[in-house]
Amino acid sequence: MDLFDKLDKTEIKTTDRFPEADMEFCRQAEKEYHDAYNVYSELSYLIEEINDSIQCLSEKTYIQKIDDCKDKVYGCNKKFIRNICGYFKQKYSVSIDEPDWKIIKEDKWGYKTKKDKEEAVTLQYILDSVYEQMSGMSFEEKAFHELKEDARESMTTHQGKSKYCVRGKKLVVDEFYWSHKDYVWGRYTASIDKKHRSFFKALTHFEYKRYEISNKYDFLCDYKIDEETGVYDRHYISSSVIEAIKLYKNGKVEIDFKNNRTAMSFINTYFPGVPQQTAA
């Protein structure tokens, strides 16, 4: 048997593609899931037997419906899927869609609907879905790719045009926030969404190589910021890469980096392919 034949016969299991520490968590979660599933599954079977034996009774007010117990079985399946996917999402800061554990059923009129599967979901099924969503990337690569994709929206308009330029060591982004004056209270407020938070997540990653937003940017990441909090002042940042941040009432933001080389390194790392606008 030559090398290629051996490779063809070598089956790589999905579980072999995950670090042992992750698999240790998954196996423990699987055990806990099966313990709960088996209890509800057995109870469901017993209730169904009892239900069949009392069909002759005219009064069934005090008999628990079999569907109530089946809901517990479905709930176990969903929680197990959510538990495994949530673990990878939280640990690696990646987006993971929870796979369906459903079956398509067709009624006598040909109408098809998705129904929850009653049988136990397998760990292999969940891990196959997680691995497929990686699209050949490692968790670190996917997290970094998603970070750049999300942050990119803060530097471009809805039409995909650039909103930024670099002047010396200063990064200037027009229309960064949606800022407006509240004429009832007579003061300016600004609204924050995912793309703005992703920008500050990129700044955090640039300095610390982590994906949680640094608490030094908390005052800029509330979902609604008010000028009474002093948010439009110039803020000096305790950072190895940034000196100060200034937010303007017209929605513009200026980031003062330590030097031009640092500013351009940030742009080239997190916003590749987004050219500077000619004026800002």
Specify the pTM. 0.78
Contacts 24+ apart (CB under 8 A), 183-187: 187/226, 187/227, 187/228
In sequence order, the 6+-apart residues with CB closer than 8 A to the CB of 117 are 77, 101, 102, 103
Contact 227, 189 (CB under 8 A): yes
DSSP state of 96: -
pLDDT values of the chain reduced to their tens digit, one per residue, 280 residues: 554 454 344 345 666 789 999 999 999 999 999 998 888 777 776 766 666 666 655 555 545 555 566 677 788 889 999 999 999 999 999 999 999 998 887 777 778 788 888 889 999 999 999 999 999 999 999 999 999 999 988 888 878 788 999 999 999 999 888 877 877 777 888 777 888 899 999 999 999 999 999 999 888 887 677 777 778 888 999 899 999 999 888 888 999 999 999 999 999 999 988 888 865 4
CB half-sphere exposure, 4, CA atoms < 13 A = 0
As to burial, measured by CB atoms within 10 angstroms (0-12 exposed, 13-18 middle, 19+ buried), residue 6 is: exposed
Strand segments, DSSP code E, in 155-204 are 164-167, 170-173, 178-182, 187-191
Q: What are phi and psi of 230, to 5 degrees?
A: 80, 20
